[in-house]
Chains A and B, each alone.
Chain A
Amino acid sequence: MPAVSKGDGMRGLAVFISDIRNCKSKEAEIKRINKELANIRSKFKGDKALDGYSKKKYVCKLLFIFLLGHDIDFGHMEAVNLLSSNKYTEKQIGYLFISVLVNSNSELIRLINNAIKNDLSSRNPTFMCLALHCIANVGSREMAEAFASEIPRILVAGDTMDSVKQSAALCLLRLYKTSPDLVLMGEWTSRVVHLLNDQHMGVVTAAISLITCLSQKNPDEFKTCVSLAVSRLSRIVSSASTDLQDYTYYFVPAPWLSCKLLRLLQCYPPPEDGAVKGRLVECLETILNKAQEPPKSKKVQHSNAKNAILFEAISLIIHYDSEPNLLVRACNQLGQFLQHRETNLRYLALESMCTLASSEFSHEAVKTHIETVINALKTERDVSVRQRAADLLYAMCDRSNAKQIVAEMLSYLETADYSIREEMVLKVAILAEKYAVDYSWYVDTILNLIRIAGDYVSEEVWYRVIQIVINRDDVQGYAAKTVFEALQAPACHENMVKVGGYILGEFGNLIAGDPRSSPLVQFNLLHSKFHLCSVPTRALLLSAYIKFINLFPETKATIQEVLRCDSQIRNSDVELQQRAVEYLKLSSIASTDVLATVLEEMPPFPERESSILAKLKKKKGPGAVSVTELEDSKREGGELNGGSDRGPDTAAMAASNASTPSPSADLLGIRSSAPVGAAPTSAGSLLVDVFSEAGPAAPSAAVNDDGFLSSAPPSEDPAPPLSEADELLNKFVCKNNGVLFENQLLQIGIKSEYRQNLGRMYLFYGNKTSVQFASFTTTVSCPGELQSHILFPQLNVQTKAVEPLVEGGAQIQQVLNIECLTDFSEAPLLNIKFRYGGALQNLTLKLPVTINKFFQPTEMASHDFFQRWKQLSQPAQEAQKIFKANHSMDTEVLKAKLLGLGTALLDDVDPNPENYVCAGVIQTKGQQVGCLLRLEPNAQAQMYRLTLRCSKDSVSRRLCELLAEQF
């Protein structure tokens, strides 16, 4: 076998490397390098033509210097010259220099295409491989343009050497990944599939990567690969451990090829052909059987290679999710691994079982391993293994074992690694909510969470417990009692104070009968924490105090005194000062009735997807929480508060934030981000109205003799749009049907269809109560900007009046006809007024009519797309936004949204296959506006760049705004 001596062939290089290694300091190294650079520069510039050997040596030295981290700004031409040498070693150094430095100097590429062309047609397999490797390593668009048609020819030509075929297959794969539009399918396609039958296993190994990638993009065209892959796999699996000679690795026949074959099959559903399927099932069974056989070698390489195939086979079994027998066998096999002495295997078994837990066929089988997994959580020494154990417990949790699993996770939390605490907290919170049979258990669990890991309890978690307590009156008394007890601890976490303040402020009356928790005791307890808390918590406590004044008139004097003291009323923090002043005033001038209305108990929150589930998904990133999580939540959907009946598209924080009280908004929701679902009677908005007229500086201005709320609502004027109206609107940018709004009285559903510049929208108003709605009227208006163009309205909306009575439980329908006259940016408003039990309900929403609804999709080829893109090059025609991903970045979800947008989603246009481009024409009565869109996801940074180019600049801007909220 060859042995290579140090720096053989290039003594000068070896000497230079030794010199560098001997440098005692960074300065010495730099000095030595500069000396060398000067030397090489003078050689390159010298009059004497350098011979090939010297050129190679100097270029190699430059490369070494570059790899040490220094910039190289010359020598490129010499490297390019080396390519035309007919000596392998010189060519190799030339190609290497170019492949490594190409990032920093892309102009090089144009210079070398000629040399590559020559090598590709040289018929010298060594040179051909060098050239192919260079293309595969650089993989630029320019190279694809030059060689994408040439390489398929090399790949399938009958006289191509095997090693060249291997390189050509992967080289083509690289070009297909960077420029799919340039790699044209053709008659070579079917011949590539047949490479699966090639005698040379190395050719199969390389070709299968190409075939897998092509199959994913064009499954139908490559369908024939399934049966070929199955028969190839079958031959490998049934061969003896020495049959495959060179391709046997530690007694395992062709492990990497087997894995790649199993992976290719995961691009397709189970084979339809019975014989093929039978053969495949047989293969999978053989693989499972082999796992039970005694090892042929004690070497870890043997078992790793064997298990690599086994895990890939299990992935395929899970992918098919249709063979209960295989699924259960897979689960049992993994169960054995859970006890294996190899940490890696235990880790992989836990990971793989997580996906098995989501299959209905194997969920029960997975559950039988609960004790082992709990034990792993307690005893594994490596944090990443414990993490997998926690993931698996989460995945296998259902109603039957929830209490046990939550208890174990809680006790683990006390000692858990900091890196995974936050995620554990979220998981516990979700499980506790999802499987809560009695809510006292839920409340206990969350308060325990705060006690054990308060720092890691994010806002979402404590918002959620408050939401649930507010929505469930059967648990309110228990919650008040428990939180009161928890606050007795001398040192309790600030999050506990927040929850305590909120809950006692709302429901303290439920425990006030007990002298041990009388109103004053409650107040003193809360106030004893006040001085240790941050400003937002203090603000929340102040609101709790004013609620106390309403709940317990006997505390009024004490609380007023607290509010009146300088540290409150003259607090340097504006928010605290304002609250102290306003609450003090409110408590002294408002009558008890008014106070009771203003400080009414919070209305229930609308049921939405749990915001913590959304947070967990976001935290784990796309893919990580994966389908399992989503399917899981679907399976359990609607069971409880956390149940989600929406798909992953609404899973984001943005949507669910609306259902949680925002950090600053507390009991009263004084900030604009008031809790949603504060129904039309909301005390919060009422208070805002009062103070927005008066302002804290002169509150008396609004006060008259009969109490300061005389001019307050219910008013007959249309209410301003709900604070969440924009969010509701955003939900409908990419879809036309769904529930637009819901509170405890009313549900509004929407169905709409659009053609050209016309649209028809059906609104369904459902009365959720058992009581009649009277004087039910709806009005559609176009706000602000829309109204200003009287002569040239932008939208024309026509509708007939609805029936004024809506019986309890009934639903009425209204049809709107919409005509888009010119482009617009403000959505029309829908105001709804009705009387419910005598009280006027007044509510304004934005109708989800957005400019994109009038899109006609336009299909176009890559060439046309770029031509139009270039035509729309005025700066104003382009709108661009870079933003963080708010939702899953999963390809299918993104595609569905882009299609929902109304444009055509164009495949094979963007050179980067990860990007999306769309085209469409917006139809208005007056004109047509052509629009091109490009969305570039960066999965790594969880960011997007969105670019729009439209023939009208206002459209670009508006679409950009709308779409930036969607992804």
Chain B
Amino acid sequence: MNYLFQIRFILIQNRAGKTRLAKWYMQFDDDEKQKLIEEVHAVVTVRDSVSYALSVLFSQFRNFKIIYRRYAGLYFCICVDVTDNNLAYLEGIHNFVEVLNEYFHNVCELDLVFNFYKVYTVVDEMFLAGEIRETSQTKVLKQLLMLQSLE
């Protein structure tokens, strides 16, 4: 087991492939990032069209794997090492989405567009340096609420 970066990146994309959040935990140059974004989109949407209900939510991807889940028109994708725990990250995504949902009060895609700079704060509370930082929704929301009160 080689301990490199657990999470290489987190991406939120919509069905059309527009990026709603890209958080990188590894050095990639800009071209590489663009390529990854396109490849991830191809991976998740192709699988989706087969049959969502039956499709597997993990996908081998280069030397990493993509763990993703679709929420309405948004794909939440997390790229980790092939040896990482699939289900833990799959639920990590869900935990994150539930926090967003509370924070933005029934989150929708537009919330992420207009408040893009706040989404980064939410991510940093829950994931840092490619690792899971905090998993308690109560604690994260309390902290976000506190930050919200500051001007």
- Interface members, chain A 54-98 (any B CB < 8 Å): 60, 63-64, 67, 87-89, 92-93, 96
Known A-B contacts A103-B27, A255-B91; the reply to A209 vs B132 at CB < 8 A is yes
Contact A136 B129 (CB under 8 A): yes
Minimum CB–CB distance from B33 to chain A (whole Å) comes to: 9
Interface membership of B15, Cβ < 8 A? no
Chain A residues with CB under 8 Å of B141's CB are: 1-2
Contact B95 A249 (CB under 8 A): yes
Contact A311 B128 (CB under 8 A): no
- Interface members, chain B 47-77 (any A CB < 8 Å): 47, 50-51, 54-60, 62-63
Contact B91 A206 (CB under 8 A): no
Distance, CA A173 to CA B131, complexed state (A): 9
Minimum CB–CB distance from B47 to chain A (whole Å) comes to: 8
Q: Per-residue 0/1 for B31-59: is the Cβ within 8 Å of any A Cβ (1 yes, 0 no)? A: 00000000000000001001100111111
Minimum CB–CB distance from A320 to chain B (whole Å) comes to: 13
Interface membership of A104, Cβ < 8 A? yes
Contact B120 A205 (CB under 8 A): no
Contact B50 A205 (CB under 8 A): no
Contact B59 A384 (CB under 8 A): yes
**Contacting A96 at CB < 8 Å: which of B117, B128, B150?**
B117
Known A-B contacts A249-B135, A256-B92; the reply to A213 vs B103 at CB < 8 A is no
Distance, CA A100 to CA B121, complexed state (A): 13
Interface membership of A111, Cβ < 8 A? no
Interface membership of A157, Cβ < 8 A? no
Contact B105 A3 (CB under 8 A): yes
Contact A202 B136 (CB under 8 A): yes
Known A-B contacts A2-B144, A623-B82; the reply to A301 vs B94 at CB < 8 A is yes
Contact A6 B114 (CB under 8 A): yes
Contact A308 B87 (CB under 8 A): yes
Minimum CB–CB distance from B4 to chain A (whole Å) comes to: 7
Contact B128 A92 (CB under 8 A): no
Contact A87 B151 (CB under 8 A): yes
**Contacting B135 at CB < 8 Å: which of A87, A212, A257?**
A257
Minimum CB–CB distance from A301 to chain B (whole Å) comes to: 6
User: Which of A342-350, A596-604, A667-675, A763-771 lies at the interface?
Assistant: A342-350
Distance, CA A385 to CA B134, complexed state (A): 32
Chain B residue with Cβ nearest A89: B151
Q: Per-residue 0/1 for B114-151: is the Cβ within 8 Å of any A Cβ (1 yes, 0 no)? A: 11111011001000111111111111010111111011
Known A-B contacts A206-B128, A213-B3, A344-B86; the reply to A67 vs B116 at CB < 8 A is yes
Chain A residues with CB under 8 Å of B117's CB are: 60, 63, 92-93, 96
Known A-B contacts A2-B141, A347-B56; the reply to A205 vs B86 at CB < 8 A is no
Distance, CA A384 to CA B44, complexed state (A): 13
Chain B residues with CB under 8 Å of A136's CB are: 128-129
Distance, CA A99 to CA B25, complexed state (A): 11
Chain A residues with CB under 8 Å of B30's CB are: 103-104
Chain B residues with CB under 8 Å of A1's CB are: 102-103, 105, 141, 145
Contact A170 B133 (CB under 8 A): yes
Q: Per-residue 0/1 for B1-35: is the Cβ within 8 Å of any A Cβ (1 yes, 0 no)? A: 11111100000000000010010000101100000
Minimum CB–CB distance from A10 to chain B (whole Å) comes to: 9
Known A-B contacts A88-B147, A914-B4; the reply to A4 vs B115 at CB < 8 A is yes
Contact A170 B129 (CB under 8 A): yes
Interface membership of A139, Cβ < 8 A? yes
Contact B1 A96 (CB under 8 A): no
**Contacting B85 at CB < 8 Å: which of A246, A312, A343?**
A312
Distance, CA A522 to CA B65, complexed state (A): 52
Chain B residues with CB under 8 Å of A498's CB are: none
Chain B residues with CB under 8 Å of A6's CB are: 110-111, 114-115
Chain A residues with CB under 8 Å of B90's CB are: 304, 308, 344
Chain B residue with Cβ nearest A267: B1
Interface size on B, residues (CB 8 A): 70
Contact A381 B139 (CB under 8 A): no
Known A-B contacts A6-B111, A940-B62; the reply to A209 vs B103 at CB < 8 A is no
Distance, CA A254 to CA B91, complexed state (A): 12
Chain B residue with Cβ nearest A312: B85
Interface size on A, residues (CB 8 A): 81
Contact B145 A246 (CB under 8 A): no
Distance, CA A836 to CA B86, complexed state (A): 62
Chain A residues with CB under 8 Å of B148's CB are: 2, 4
Distance, CA A173 to CA B3, complexed state (A): 11
Distance, CA A213 to CA B121, complexed state (A): 25
Distance, CA A315 to CA B82, complexed state (A): 13
Contact A205 B87 (CB under 8 A): no
Contact A17 B95 (CB under 8 A): no
Known A-B contacts A304-B90, A308-B91; the reply to A381 vs B63 at CB < 8 A is no
Residue in B129, B135, B144, B147 whose Cβ sees the most chain A Cβ within 10 Å: B129
Interface membership of A45, Cβ < 8 A? no
Contact B55 A343 (CB under 8 A): yes
- Interface members, chain A 1-27 (any B CB < 8 Å): 1-4, 6-9, 14, 17, 21
Contact B104 A4 (CB under 8 A): yes
**Contacting A259 at CB < 8 Å: which of B82, B85, B110, B147?**
B85
Contact B115 A348 (CB under 8 A): no
Contact A384 B128 (CB under 8 A): no
Q: Per-residue 0/1 for A167-184: is the Cβ within 8 Å of any B Cβ (1 yes, 0 no)? A: 100110110010000000
Chain B residues with CB under 8 Å of A213's CB are: 3
Distance, CA A631 to CA B80, complexed state (A): 26
Contact A174 B129 (CB under 8 A): yes
Minimum CB–CB distance from B108 to chain A (whole Å) comes to: 10
Chain B residues with CB under 8 Å of A209's CB are: 6, 129, 131-132
Distance, CA A213 to CA B3, complexed state (A): 6
Contact B88 A256 (CB under 8 A): yes
Contact A205 B132 (CB under 8 A): yes
Minimum CB–CB distance from B147 to chain A (whole Å) comes to: 7
Chain A residues with CB under 8 Å of B95's CB are: 249
**Contacting A381 at CB < 8 Å: which of B22, B27, B51, B115?**
B51
Interface membership of A891, Cβ < 8 A? yes
Distance, CA A201 to CA B134, complexed state (A): 9
Chain A residue with Cβ nearest B148: A2
Chain A residues with CB under 8 Å of B60's CB are: 384
Distance, CA A53 to CA B32, complexed state (A): 35
Chain A residues with CB under 8 Å of B57's CB are: 344
Contact A381 B50 (CB under 8 A): yes
Chain A residues with CB under 8 Å of B82's CB are: 623-624
Contact B133 A247 (CB under 8 A): no
Chain B residues with CB under 8 Å of A205's CB are: 132-135
**Contacting B56 at CB < 8 Å: which of A216, A382, A891?**
A382
Contact A96 B120 (CB under 8 A): yes
Minimum CB–CB distance from A257 to chain B (whole Å) comes to: 7
Chain A residues with CB under 8 Å of B110's CB are: 6
Minimum CB–CB distance from B17 to chain A (whole Å) comes to: 12
Minimum CB–CB distance from B89 to chain A (whole Å) comes to: 9
Minimum CB–CB distance from A89 to chain B (whole Å) comes to: 6
Extra contacts besides A21-B113, A344-B90 (13): CB < 8 Å: A2-B102, A88-B147, A99-B120, A126-B146, A137-B124, A170-B131, A170-B133, A174-B129, A249-B135, A259-B85, A308-B86, A343-B56, A344-B57
- A-B contacts, 5 listed (Cβ < 8 Å): A4-B115, A205-B132, A249-B91, A311-B87, A382-B51
